[in-house]
Amino acid sequence: MKIGLLTSGGDCQALNATMRGVVKGLYANVEELEVYGFYDGYKGLIYSKYRLLTSADFSGILTKGGTILGTSRQPFKLMREPDENGLDKVAAMKSTYYKLNLDCLVILGGNGTQKTANLLREEGLNIIHLPKTIDNDIFGTDMTFGFYSAVNVATEAIDCIHTTAASHNRVFIVEVMGHKVGWLTLYAGVASGADIILLPEIPYEDKKIIQAIERRHKNGKGFTILAVAEGAISKEDAKLSKKELKKKQEKEHYPSVSYKIAEMITKETGIEARVTVPGHTQRGGSPCPYDRVLCTRLGSAAAKAIIDQKYGNMVAIINDKTELVPLEKVAGKLKSVDPNCQMIKEARRIGISFASKDD
């Protein structure tokens, strides 16, 4: 059997752990196995940059963050466009696959990566996709690997801010990654006891943020902590078209939404507001135990899917069971936080503000 492996898009803590699961599951059950690792995501497949890997490459990497193969962002929307030298990328990827005579290509990545994986499936390649992202926004799986490790990092960042915020009687904003969705902010915010949580799925109202801060002050709490998703948006901005919003943001010149909120808070309350952006630390370091278990399970399930020749699927985790989900059913869909979900209601019940009318 010959398989190819690639990791594409933004990295996360648990890519190596997942590849280890896949390869160990195959080595233990397939007599002759060749594993080709493509460098830097789809780039390696397009430009035929790869290496034959051995079982030694997968030893000792369960706890190692990043990816032993390297990664890059190759936007899906440009896949059908020739590169700067006129190379047809899809044809080049197919050519590498057929040249190596692969039985299957295992692709680890997020939403964009998944769309290209589906494109390659449509082009006739045998594909298995594994759902990676700290954003947890992949439709069709309850959980993506990398998510809980990132929750740990973001939670620790907010925990550290908590002690300094309490000493200084300030307002602190911690900006959490997550791209267009609020999963990471919601989990890290609840886990760290943030007072206000702002998610893209619940456009915020300035006056609600101020009310929440003033309420705390009245109750003798001199400080307030906001967990703000990088994609958080105000109620009025949410009404704008993409084009109008871009124009407005260019004029405003804020490095990110958190700085805009910080300025508004200081203006309205006179309280100092500070912004902390943990940024890419959220994708770094070792995978947490939950992710190590998840990756080992997903990787092992992927190995079984390959052995059973059940190609064209994403290996998902649904109700704590690994399942194969057809790529055609999930590619291009986003999994957002439901603003009316139980977790948000529970958070509201204990006084966490989402800065909206339902507070």
Choose one: 121-129, 132-140, 218-226, 250-258; the region binding ligand F6P (CB under 6 A): 132-140
- Among residues 11, 40, 57, 135, the one annotated as catalytic is 135
Our finding on whether 143 is near ligand F6P (CB under 6 A) is no
Pick the piece of the chain touching ligand F6P (CB under 6 A) from 90-98, 131-139, 252-260, 339-347. Answer: 131-139
CA distance 174 to 196: 11
179 interacts with ligand F6P by CB under 6 A: yes
Q: Residue 280 contacts by C-beta under 8 Å, 6 or more apart in sequence? A: none
Report d(CA 35, CA 3) in Å as an integer: 5
- Smallest gap from residue 180 Cβ to ligand F6P (A): 8
Q: Is 358 a catalytic site residue?
A: no
133 binding ligand F6P? (CB under 6 A): yes
Interacting residue with ligand F6P among 21, 110, 203, 278 (CB under 6 A): 110
Q: How far is the CB of 322 from ligand F6P (least distance, A)?
A: 23
109 in contact with ligand F6P (CB under 6 A): no
Amino acid in the structure at residue 218: K
The residues in 26-55 that bind ligand F6P, with binding defined as CB under 6 A, are: none
Q: How far is the CB of 74 from ligand F6P (least distance, A)?
A: 12
Residues in contact with ligand F6P, total (CB under 6 A)? 11
Helix H, strand E, coil C: the string for 132-154 is ECCCCCECCCCCCECHHHHHHHH
Q: Does residue number 70 form part of the binding site for ligand F6P (CB under 6 A)?
A: no
Please report the DSSP string for 171-224 in residue order.
EEEEEE--TT--HHHHHHHHHTT-SEEE-TTS-B-HHHHHHHHHHHHHTT---E
Identify which of residues 48 and 281 has a Cβ nearer to ligand F6P in the complex: 281
Reading the block at residue 259, the tokens are 């700085």
- Of 172-180, 249-257, 304-312, 342-350, the window that binds ligand F6P (rule: CB under 6 A) is 172-180
Q: How distant, in Å, are the alpha carbons of 93, 95, 126 from that of 99?
A: 10, 6, 14
Q: How far is the CB of 133 from ligand F6P (least distance, A)?
A: 5
- Gap between the terminal Cα atoms of the chain: 57
Among 15, 108, 134, 352, binds ligand F6P (CB under 6 A): 134
Helices then strands (H, E): number in the chain?
13, 11
Among residues 191, 179, 233, the alpha carbon closest in space to that of 354 is found at 233
Closest separation between CB of residue 135 and ligand F6P, Å? Answer: 5
Q: Which residues of 136-165 are buried (b: 16+ CB within 10 A; e: fewer)?
A: bbbbbbebbbbbbbbbbbbbbbbeebbeeb
Residues classed as catalytic:
135
Residues that bind ligand F6P (CB under 6 A): 10, 73, 110, 133-135, 177-179, 230, 283
